[in-house]
Amino acid sequence: MYNVLEFWQRALLFPLTMLLVSLSLWGIFGALPAALFFGITILLRMIGNLRKLAELEYWSLAPDSREVPEDSGLWEDVFARLNKIMRKQHEEREKHAAALHQIEQATSALPEGVAILDEADHIEWCNPLAEAHFGLDSARDVGQQITYLARQPEFVQYLTLANYEAPLVLRGTRQDDIVLSIKVVPYGINKKLLISRDITHLERIETMRRDFVANVSHELRTPLTVVNGFVETLQDMEHLDNDMSRRALDLMGEQTKRMEGLVDDLLTLSRLENSLNALVEEVVDVPVLLQSLQQEGQALSAGKHTLKLELDSKAKLQGCNAELRSAFGNLVSNAVRYTPQGGEIVMRWHEQADGKVAFSVQDSGIGIAPEHIPRLTERFYRVDRSRSRETGGTGLGLAIVKHIVNRHQGSLEISSEEGKGSTFSIVFPAKRHLT
């Protein structure tokens, strides 16, 4: 603890002792020699202090590389304390450097690229994998805007739109065919963590899987058409009077038709999944499309249901006519197939308050228990297999709908109550709504 009294005792000890010595000298040699003695000793003492001050100043200009000056007198305590502070500071710095080194090692070992961006997307820091993914050099590129270095339009748009819910799949960031999955996590005050993952391998497997399904479906098409052709020819033969043969032929006909349906749906799904297959953008006159779908629905229902069409809006849509026909048609066909005779089906086209437009199909059919609803759009997910099969279902209809809806940036909403009926709605964003 700092003791003021002790400091003054030590500080005044020398001048007071010199004063006493001078006073005794006065008695022996007179005033002048005594004053001279006192003056010289105090001056020497002052020079000594100034020298220490000069040493302190010299040290303070580069405290890290120079030793704290030493003294055994009045300055001793100050220097000792300074020494202690410096040692502690040095230890703290070593500790921080070690921690930083560890963090650097950990982020370098991360299997993902990580970069910190400021509010204007300038790179503040990046790990080696991010350097490799975006072709950066942290020594050269820190402080640069990332969109200046990685210029893919979809990447620039992803950062500008700032909608980071879904990751962005980015191809061709460099010369090689690397595929990246990009995620942005905002944190702190306007800072962003840019995380990139190399999904080239996953993409390759996914492409192989897609190609395989597409190829198998394609290969099955021709033999199925041939078999179906023969079955139909045999069915048409008048002298085929054996009951068993006729039943067998009818069954064969039914099953080959089912397989044809399956193959067609699988091919449709493969086409929709292929990211190289861009959406055809055209103006779709939805009211006209729905009138034609109502007629198709009535034909499918064969008079067993009442099928109403409510056109609350004349809005047209920006999108692909064939895909929208397929999605809407699937919902109508499901409503017919899962609604018992005498039921009512209402198709509706309406605008929402937020500028979005929606197509919905409401039926008074068998409904769906809540636990099944989240899984309905999975391929081959069926609540009741036999009912789906009996009514000619493939289990792929809603998977196709979901893909088409995603391609139009829309959402599929399902509400249903078992035994009462269901409502399937496709909601399109306002930007697709044409008046």
Give the total of residues touching ligand ADP (CB under 6 A): 22
Is position 397 an interface residue for ligand ADP (rule: CB under 6 A)? yes
Q: Report yes or no: 267 and 326 within 8 Å, Cβ to Cβ.
A: no
Shortest Cβ 348–ligand ADP spacing (Å) = 14
From CA 203, how far away is CA 271, in angstroms rounded?
Answer: 16
> Tokens 């052709």 label which residue?
229
**Contact string 406-435 vs ligand ADP (x = CB under 6 A):** ----------------x-------------
Closer residue to ligand ADP in complex, CB, 130/398: 398
**Contact string 363-382 vs ligand ADP (x = CB under 6 A):** x-xxxx-------x----xx
Torsion of CA 425, 399, 330, 213, to 10 degrees: 160
Shortest Cβ 392–ligand ADP spacing (Å) = 8
Applying CB under 6 A, which part among 17-25, 39-47, 135-143, 360-368 lies near ligand ADP? 360-368
3-state helix, strand, coil in the chain (%, to 5): 55, 20, 25
- Give me the count of residues in the chain: 435
Q: Which of 173, 152, 196 is nearest to 160 (CA)?
A: 152
Is position 384 an interface residue for ligand ADP (rule: CB under 6 A)? yes
Closer residue to ligand ADP in complex, CB, 231/361: 361
**What is the distance in angstroms between the CA of the first residue and the CA of the last residue of the chain?**
83
Applying CB under 6 A, which part among 33-41, 73-81, 222-230, 387-395 lies near ligand ADP? 387-395
Is position 256 an interface residue for ligand ADP (rule: CB under 6 A)? no
Q: Which of 285, 318, 291 is nearest to 407 (CA)?
A: 318
For the beta sheet containing 282-284, the strands, ordered from the edge strand earlier in sequence to the opposite edge, are 282-284, 316-319, 433-434
Shortest Cβ 398–ligand ADP spacing (Å) = 3
Query: Which residues in this chain contact ligand ADP in the complex, by CB under 6 A?
Result: 334-335, 338, 363, 365-368, 376, 381-384, 388, 393-399, 422
